């Protein structure tokens, strides 16, 4: 059988959701599909569920178990190394997809030989629907479209990709946010993009998922690695000004969010030496966010992020002092932070 789409599913302790996820994949209306399940060293009943699925659907479901945890990115990389499909898709093991998703995406891809085809998704936590790629973006990717893609980024799981496009692309392993720079590289390589303007993917939010349970130390480490990857992209590829600004926008956004997380994080979750980590961030972002206020997309960055970045540029000690003042407040959230920042910053003699 000629495999039209390979769907790669990274799995780690997903027994509560895995059967539901697999049911929607096994019953896809696209018959020429392979479902590659990579168990990332689970300690629950996930392996048993996979074994049952392989026994019932040996021609459709493949399963491999990793002896060492490599994270979702590492599991996806293993799947990429054995995928046979013309196109490749990714599904997270705690999400579900429409039964027609991969048939519709594949048919769209073949319609005009698209490198990437995207669809809409439903966010269950927020009860919202969203589709990143608009109809006017469909077709050949010009600089304007690529800039929008690089700025929005989106999700790896709402798309299928021509296998050749991913031949030299891999995810960062043992990481969170590992799909963001992967997508940036895919957008830079892709020449044509299509869209199916239907909600075909259901994103579910679980508080114990890896990106929702990270302590500040883990957030700091992973954000730093992501920023370094973006910086590397800027140095490796010749991009138009708007495309460069879109990548720099991602750096600015991640940098600002990390500083906001630093401000509201409990000190018990900050094991890294605070001043050293802030100085390190200042160093690795220095060139890429120089004159960041001139970035084409700066208006989409929150005011609190801008204030914190300017303070860290001047002196990381200002942030540490501000954090001590902030911790005396009754509330510890972003709304409180934004409301109080400007007043407190002036008292510290910052750039604002």
Q: Rounded to whole angstroms, how far apart are CA atoms 51 and 157? A: 24
Local confidence pLDDT in tens for the 352 residues of the chain: 799 999 999 999 999 999 999 999 999 999 999 999 999 999 999 999 999 999 999 999 999 999 999 999 999 999 999 999 999 999 999 999 999 999 999 999 999 999 999 999 999 888 999 999 999 999 999 999 999 999 999 999 999 999 999 999 999 999 999 999 999 999 999 999 999 999 999 998 655 555 444 578 888 999 999 999 999 999 999 999 999 999 999 999 999 999 988 887 777 667 667 788 899 989 999 888 888 889 999 999 988 888 889 888 888 888 888 887 777 665 555 555 555 555 554 554 444 3
Query: b/e for 236-267, b at 16 or more Cβ within 10 A?
Result: eeebeebbbbbbbbbbbbbbbbbbbbbbbbee
What single string gives the DSSP state of each residue in 71-86?
Answer: HHHHHHHHHHHH--SS
Taking the whole predicted model, whether its pTM rises above 0.85 is answered as yes
How is residue 281 written in tokens?
């961030």
CA angle in degrees (0–180, nearest 5) for 249-250-254: 120
The CA distances from residue 278 to 39, 71, 257, 314, in Å, are 36, 26, 13, 11
Cβ atoms within 10 Å of 335's Cβ, excluding its own = 9
Are residues 51 and 84 in contact, defined by beta-carbon separation less than 8 angstroms? no
Q: Rounded to whole angstroms, how far apart are CA atoms 213 and 195? A: 32
Between helices 241-264 and 316-326, what is the axis angle to 10°?
Answer: 40
The CA distances from residue 260 to 4, 216, 229, in Å, are 44, 11, 21
How many distinct helices (H) and strands (E) make up the chain? 12, 10
* 3-class SS shares of the chain: helix, strand, coil, % to 5: 50, 15, 35
Q: Rounded to whole angstroms, how far apart are CA atoms 351 and 214? A: 31
Query: Would you tell me which CATH number, out of the four given (3.30.450.20, 3.90.550.10, 3.40.50.2000, 1.10.940.10), belongs to the domain 5-203?
Result: 3.90.550.10
Q: Rounded to whole angstroms, how far apart are CA atoms 168 and 189? A: 10
Q: Rounded to whole angstroms, how far apart are CA atoms 75 and 41? A: 10
Between helices 71-82 and 178-189, what is the axis angle to 10°?
Answer: 40
């Amino acid at each position: 059988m000629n495999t039209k789409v390979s769907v790669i599913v990274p799995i780690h302790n997903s027994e509560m959701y895995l059967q539901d996820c697999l049911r929607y994949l096994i019953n896809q209306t696209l018959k020429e599909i392979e479902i590659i399940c990579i168990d990332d060293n689970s300690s629950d009943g996930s392996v048993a569920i996979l074994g049952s699925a392989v026994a019932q659907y040996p021609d459709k479901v493949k399963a491999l178990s990793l002896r060492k945890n490599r994270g979702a990115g590492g599991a996806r990389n293993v799947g990429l190394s054995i995928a046979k499909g013309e196109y490749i898709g990714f599904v997270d093991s705690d999400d579900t997809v429409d039964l027609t998703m991969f048939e519709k995406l594949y048919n769209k891809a073949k319609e005009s030989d698209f490198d990437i085809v995207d669809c809409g998704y439903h966010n269950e936590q927020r009860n919202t629907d969203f589709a990143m790629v608009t109809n006017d973006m469909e077709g050949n990717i010009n600089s304007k479209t690529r800039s929008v893609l690089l700025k929005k980024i989106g999700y790896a799981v709402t798309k299928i990709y021509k296998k050749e496009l991913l031949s030299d692309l891999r995810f960062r392993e043992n990481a969170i946010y590992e799909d963001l720079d992967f997508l940036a590289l895919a957008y830079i390589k892709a020449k044509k993009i299509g869209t199916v303007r239907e909600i075909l993917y259901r994103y579910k939010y679980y508080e114990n998922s890896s990106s929702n349970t990270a302590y500040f130390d883990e957030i700091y480490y992973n954000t730093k690695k992501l920023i370094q990857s973006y910086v590397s992209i800027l140095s490796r590829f010749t991009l138009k000004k708007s495309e460069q600004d879109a990548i720099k926008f991602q750096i600015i956004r991640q940098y600002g969010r990390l500083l906001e997380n630093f401000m509201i994080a409990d000190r018990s979750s900050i094991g890294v030496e605070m001043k050293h980590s802030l100085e390190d961030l200042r160093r690795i972002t220095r060139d890429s966010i120089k004159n960041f206020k001139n970035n084409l997309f700066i208006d989409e960055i929150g005011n609190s992020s801008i204030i914190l970045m300017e303070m860290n540029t001047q002196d990381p000690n200002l942030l540490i002092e501000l954090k001590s003042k902030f911790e005396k407040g009754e509330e510890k959230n972003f709304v409180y932070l934004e409301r109080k920042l400007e007043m407190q910053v002036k008292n510290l003699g910052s750039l604002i």
